[in-house]
């Protein structure tokens, strides 16, 4: 029944959202991988992008979209998958303390031998596991789809891109967690995290066409997520380190803030 | 012996809300059933949530079972259980699932004893909590609290919504806990509900602890309403300023007053005249309780309405 401790209980709470986000991201990836050869035969994707000119750059640094790798990069990894994983991680994390507070269940929970820090850490571990599970589903369906259509999709590169995707999700999830731990307001935390994601996405995308934005580009987490184009080039340890550091720092911040706060009645 | 609860100048100050508490010095001895009484908004829940470290004091300190409520939190949690006033439980779970979860968090409970509690409180443990009535939800909370056999039970308005039979069973559980040397701390805004159960009561109003008394002492200090018929008209001066006498009125030959404590002075003063009849009416603890609040006070009215 998964009711052994806060970690397993959280896995139980997250099972359906995790199932749906994994299925959604996996199905899209598998779908594109299966249909890519057909699709690229009908449409000359590179020529469309050329016609779009600078606007195409808003979809991220453009490579060769006549390959499945380039196509997935643009179609999924630059925007849709980040939006889904961030919404998932931030949505779940924002409920960890604020959800228990607004439902009023935190009084009973904390009257058992569970410290506030353990509460946050065990719940966070569950969303890490959920994100990794979702990434594994995407990997299986992506590799399966590519095999079915005999397209080239290097398994290690896909794994590396998904690793970066998970880190991006967890970084924004930790931001949402910190906001919700500080305010007890779940909606504000989700809104702020998703809003921040949109702004950071735009900053990174616009920076490739607007010179003046170059200076602020390092402030965008998308810069680290996409900078090395992991689907084509693999992981940059620096980039991964930055995302992981953001996640860890905001997790620690959440614990520190939540330990000190008066909890809502 | 270590007190079950001990606070020193415990203060929680809210700038814009009334529910704070101020300089509360409270000692609750072990092995007692202690009633923590006051009208809604007096600071009862604030006090309890401070003891549970859910909120932090502005100043002052609090110990539970001799341990610091903040520093020794987990050690306290293992030995203390709590049923909040606004009880919220994971509504998607069944009662049994919730009790399993909380039992696991506790590090295991006696399942036989837990099932006996379920039976005694007539809880249907296989219904989802969201489908339970307030009273049935309360039963889940009570089973969860008693099943760990805590050294101290902190119960915030625990009987709300319970039917009389279950309330009686709840009182037996509290008495059993006391027999085993455990302590029960019950908050209530209804004295009649807890007066037969409690050994001592503390009375809180507007955040200040007004008094802590044993029920026996409260009864000793009982107010009596007296009516004396004299054989002749008497002057009010003869009875004014007698110790313990208040609300004195004299109409011709009839004296009416309330007396707190000993009747001695009044009886001796009355003996100077011909006494034809003397009627004494014992007042309820409710009235003693209200005497603390002051009769013209809104809070007293609230208490009396709540009790009615």
Q: Considering CB atoms only, which of A3, A105, A115 is closest to B73? A: A115
Percentage of chain B modeled with pLDDT above 70: 89
Which whole-number Å values give the CA distances from A76 to A85, B25, B159, in the listed order? 12, 63, 56
**Which range of residues forms the domain containing residue A170?**
6-260
List CB contacts (< 8 A) between B44 and chain A. Answer: none
Q: A108 vs B141: CB contact, 8 Å cut-off?
A: yes
List CB contacts (< 8 A) between A10 and chain B. Answer: none
> Does pLDDT of A53 surpass 90?
no
Q: What is the average pLDDT value for chain B, to the nearest integer? A: 88
Q: Can you give the pLDDT at residue A100?
A: 95
Which is more confident, B214 or B281? B214
Percentage of chain A modeled with pLDDT above 90: 78
Please check whether residue A1 lies inside any domain of the structure: no
List Cβ neighbours of A242 (8 Å cut-off, separation of 6 or more): A221, A224
> Does pLDDT of A62 surpass 70?
no
Which one of B15, B46, B88 would you mutate to disrupt binding with A, by most A Cβ within 10 Å of its Cβ? B88
Please check whether residue A265 lies inside any domain of the structure: no
Please check whether residue A203 lies inside any domain of the structure: yes
Q: Can you give the pLDDT at residue A146?
A: 95
Q: B105 vs A109: CB contact, 8 Å cut-off?
A: yes
Model confidence pLDDT, tens digit, residues B102-123: 999 999 999 999 999 999 999 9
Model confidence pLDDT, tens digit, residues B260-308: 877 888 889 999 999 999 988 766 666 666 666 554 444 444 444 443 3
**Residue pairs spanning A and B at CB distance below 8 A:** 71
First to last CA, chain A: 29
Q: Please report, for chain B, the start and end positions of each structural domain, with discontinuous segments joined by +.
A: 5-218, 223-282
Q: Can you give the pLDDT at residue B302?
A: 44
Residue B161's pLDDT band, with cuts at 50, 70 and 90, is confident
- C-alpha A196: how far from chain center: 13
List the single range of A49-53, B126-130, B210-214 with lowest mean pLDDT.
Answer: A49-53
Residue B125's pLDDT band, with cuts at 50, 70 and 90, is very high
Please check whether residue A103 lies inside any domain of the structure: yes
Q: Give the mean pLDDT of A197-207.
A: 92
Task: Give the pair of three-digit tokens for residue B251.
Answer: 């109409």
What are the beta bridge partners of residue B193? Answer: none
> Does pLDDT of A59 surpass 60?
no
Q: What is the average pLDDT value for chain A, to the nearest integer? A: 92
Q: What fold is seen in the domain B5-218?
A: Rossmann fold (3.40.50)
List the single range of A7-16, A160-169, B56-65, B281-290 with lowest mean pLDDT.
Answer: B281-290
List Cβ neighbours of A195 (8 Å cut-off, separation of 6 or more): none
Residue A33's pLDDT band, with cuts at 50, 70 and 90, is very high
Number of independent structural domains in chain A: 1
Q: Can you give the pLDDT at residue A50?
A: 72
Do A224 and A243 meet the contact criterion of CB atoms below 8 Å apart? yes
Which residue, among A73, A230, A68, has the nearest Cα to A150 in the 3D structure? A68
Rounded CA separation B140/B185 (Å): 18
Percentage of chain A modeled with pLDDT above 70: 94
* 3.30.70.1560, 3.40.50.12780, 2.60.40.3080, 3.30.1180.20: CATH of B223-282: 3.30.70.1560
Q: CB-side exposure of B64: number of CA atoms within 13 Å?
A: 31
Q: What share of chain B is helix, strand, coil (3-state, %, to 5)?
A: 35, 30, 35
> Does pLDDT of A87 surpass 70?
yes
Q: Can you give the pLDDT at residue B297?
A: 46
List CB contacts (< 8 A) between B105 and chain A. Answer: 5-6, 109, 112-114
Q: Which residues of A touch B (CB under 8 A)?
A: 1, 3-6, 9, 103-115, 260, 262-263, 265
Q: Give the mean pLDDT of B64-82.
A: 97
Q: Considering CB atoms only, which of B53, B73, B84 is closest to A108? A: B84
Q: Can you give the pLDDT at residue B216?
A: 80
Q: Considering CB atoms only, which of B56, B82, B105 is closest to A262? A: B56
Q: A111 vs B52: CB contact, 8 Å cut-off?
A: yes
Q: Give the mean pLDDT of A172-176.
A: 98
Q: A113 vs B55: CB contact, 8 Å cut-off?
A: no
List the single range of A3-17, A61-75, A145-159 with lowest mean pLDDT.
Answer: A61-75
Q: Give the mean pLDDT of A117-136.
A: 98
Q: A108 vs B89: CB contact, 8 Å cut-off?
A: yes
Residue B38's pLDDT band, with cuts at 50, 70 and 90, is confident
Model confidence pLDDT, tens digit, residues B231-242: 999 888 888 888
List CB contacts (< 8 A) between B86 and chain A. Answer: 104, 265
> Does pLDDT of A32 surpass 70?
yes
List the single range of A231-245, B22-36, B272-286 with lowest mean pLDDT.
Answer: B272-286
The residue of chain B with its CA nearest to that of A258 is B54
What are the beta bridge partners of residue B80? Answer: B152
Which one of B75, B101, B149 would you mutate to disrupt binding with A, by most A Cβ within 10 Å of its Cβ? B101
């Amino acid at each position: 029944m998964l009711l052994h401790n806060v970690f397993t209980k959280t896995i139980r709470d997250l099972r359906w959202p995790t199932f749906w986000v994994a299925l959604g991201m996996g199905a899209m990836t598998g779908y594109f991988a299966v249909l890519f050869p057909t699709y690229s035969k009908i449409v000359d994707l590179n020529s469309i992008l050329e016609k779009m000119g600078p606007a195409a750059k808003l979809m991220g640094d453009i490579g060769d979209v006549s390959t499945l790798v380039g196509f997935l990069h643009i179609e999924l990894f630059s925007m849709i998958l980040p939006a889904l994983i961030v919404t998932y991680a931030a949505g779940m994390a924002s409920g960890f303390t604020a959800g228990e507070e607004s439902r009023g269940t935190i009084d009973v929970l904390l009257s058992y031998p569970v410290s506030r820090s353990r509460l946050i850490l065990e719940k966070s571990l569950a969303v890490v596991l959920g994100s990794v599970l979702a990434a594994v589903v995407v990997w299986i369906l992506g590799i399966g789809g590519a095999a079915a259509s005999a397209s080239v999709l290097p398994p290690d590169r896909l794994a590396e891109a998904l690793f970066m995707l998970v880190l991006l999700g967890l970084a924004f999830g930790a931001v949402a967690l910190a906001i919700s731990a500080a305010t007890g307001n779940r909606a504000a935390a989700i809104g702020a995290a998703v809003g921040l994601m949109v702004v950071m996405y735009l900053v990174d995308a616009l920076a490739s066409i607007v010179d003046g934005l170059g200076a602020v580009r390092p402030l965008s987490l998308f810069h680290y997520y996409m900078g090395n184009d992991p689907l084509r080039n693999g992981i940059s340890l620096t980039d991964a380190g930055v995302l992981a550091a953001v996640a860890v720092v905001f997790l620690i911040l959440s614990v520190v803030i939540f330990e000190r706060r008066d909890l809502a009645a | 012996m270590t007190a079950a609860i001990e606070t020193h100048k415990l203060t929680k100050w809210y700038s814009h809300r009334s529910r704070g508490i101020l300089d509360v010095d409270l000692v609750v001895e072990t092995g007692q059933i202690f009633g923590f009484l006051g009208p809604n908004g007096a600071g009862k829940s604030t006090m309890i949530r401070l003891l549970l470290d859910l909120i932090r004091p502005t100043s002052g300190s609090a110990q539970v079972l001799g341990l610091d409520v903040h520093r020794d939190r987990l050690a306290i949690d293992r030995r203390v259980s709590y049923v909040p006033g606004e009880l919220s439980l994971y509504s998607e779970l069944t009662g049994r699932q919730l009790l399993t979860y909380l039992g696991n968090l506790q590090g295991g409970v006696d399942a036989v004893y837990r099932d006996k509690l379920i039976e005694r409180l007539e809880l249907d443990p296989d219904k989802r909590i969201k489908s339970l009535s307030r009273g049935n939800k309360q039963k889940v909370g009570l089973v969860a609290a008693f099943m760990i056999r805590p050294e101290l039970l902190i119960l915030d308005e625990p009987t709300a919504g319970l039917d009389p039979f279950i309330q009686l069973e709840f009182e037996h559980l509290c008495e059993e806990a006391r027999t085993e040397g455990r302590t029960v701390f019950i908050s209530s805004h209804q004295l009649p509900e807890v007066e037969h159960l409690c050994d001592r009561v503390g009375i809180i109003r507007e955040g200040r602890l007004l008094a802590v008394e044993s029920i026996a002492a409260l009864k000793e200090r009982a107010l009596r309403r007296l009516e004396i018929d004299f054989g002749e008209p008497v002057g009010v001066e003869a009875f004014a300023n007698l110790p313990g006498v208040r609300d004195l009125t004299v109409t011709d030959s009839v004296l009416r007053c309330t007396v707190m404590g000993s009747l001695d002075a009044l009886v001796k003063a009355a003996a100077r005249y011909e006494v034809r009849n003397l009627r004494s009416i014992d007042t309820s603890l409710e009235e003693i309780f209200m005497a603390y609040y002051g009769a013209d006070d809104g809070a007293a009215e609230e208490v009396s309405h709540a009790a009615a």
